[in-house]
Amino acid sequence: MIQRDAQMPPQNTSWQRQLATAIRTPEELCDMLDLHKDVISGSHAPTHAFPFLVTRSFVSRIHKGDPHDPLLLQILPRDLEEQNVPGFVADPLEENASLTAPGLIQKYAGRALLMLTSACAINCRYCFRRAFPYADNGVQTSKLDEALDEISRTRSIHEIILSGGDPLLVSDERLQSILHRLSDIPHWRRLRIHTRLPVVLPERVTDTLVTMLARTRLTTTVVIHANHAQELDHTVEKAMLQLRRSHSLLLNQSVLLRGINDSANVLAELSERLLEIGVIPYYLHLLDRVSGTSHFEVDRQTAEQIHETLRNQLPGYAVPRLAQEVPGAPAKHWIG
């Protein structure tokens, strides 16, 4: 298991200072939310394997005193994570087998995923990379050249997906340097950024970041990750308004999670809110079966029923595609 945490960049911006004050223990979270300590009984063992981490901005949207709050349940460690459930493994997507260079994963034709960092600003308990061996697979800066050389050699790659961890945890300066190097590769046409930071730390959407994306020659897409409408407060709305100035396509992907958003009404509210702030609902993923996450799983039949109800409630463009990632498949599997 990895010991993943936010790696602190120099604290010279508002978002970096806020990241430095992130909450790192369930006890502190309970104190902030007026929750009884019974809520975290049995939560200590999971935090040793997969550290607890959440931004104060995200916590501010959790309802005080409610142990069943849908945002709280995404971040609160539980002893259920220690269960050994058949079918739940460390690498459910077999990403290690798809590594073509340090930090570079190519599973699908025409695009590759570049992991810029192992760090996140929030450790979601259902994370499919919670056990990914980052230290052995070269996401560190010293190995970046190998990944960029592989991208340059592979002319069939037209799109790079920046991921991690969360790629927006790197500084604007470092991100600018990476984009300059990538933009010099002539067969590279599109940039996609998969990030949760605009949701959990909206201040990360800086003027510098927006200008950087607006000026690149590449077609850019920013895919955020929100699972519940409650996550999308006015600070996130402001961040999305800023990102729209970059002329990037804005998409959202969610994970279907038991007890959090496994309801057509909850998902419809999420889609409506996303559209209000200028984001297109993109994917609704079935849970990737990583060890420690079985208590979040919604079975496929129930997922299909929820999705069908959702289709009957919303216009087509507001309905995310129900999808499952299958190891070794040439593309994500669309369900229904």
| Main-chain dihedrals φ then ψ at residue 227, nearest 5 degrees | -110, -15
Quick one: tokens of 185? 């590769």
Residues linked to residue 333 through DSSP beta bridges, in sequence order: 324
Quick one: tokens of 203? 């201040």
Q: How confident is the model at residue 96 (pLDDT cuts 50, 70, 90)?
A: confident
CB atoms within 10 A of CB 138: 18
pLDDT on residue 194: 98
For 155-198, the pLDDT digits (tens) are: 999 999 999 899 999 999 999 999 999 899 999 899 999 999 99
pLDDT on residue 234: 98
**Token pair 């930090």 is at which residue?**
103
Q: CA 301 to CA 283: how far, in whole Å? A: 17
For the whole model, what pTM was predicted? 0.94
Rounded to 5°, angle at Cα 157 from 204 and 139: 45
Closest CA to 191 of 218, 169, 225, 164: 218
For 131-147, the pLDDT digits (tens) are: 887 766 656 666 788 88
Q: CA 223 to CA 322: how far, in whole Å? A: 16
In sequence order, what DSSP letters do the residues of 214-281 get, joined into one string? HHSSSEEEEEEE-SSGGG--HHHHHHHHHHHTTT-EEEEEEE--TTTT-SHHHHHHHHHHHHHTT-EE
Provide the terminal-to-terminal Cα distance of the chain, rounded to the nearest Å: 35
pLDDT on residue 193: 98
For 238-291, the pLDDT digits (tens) are: 999 999 999 999 999 999 999 999 999 999 999 999 999 999 999 999 999 999
Q: CA 161 to CA 167: how far, in whole Å? A: 10
Closest CA to 38 of 70, 90, 78: 78
Residues linked to residue 222 through DSSP beta bridges, in sequence order: 193, 250
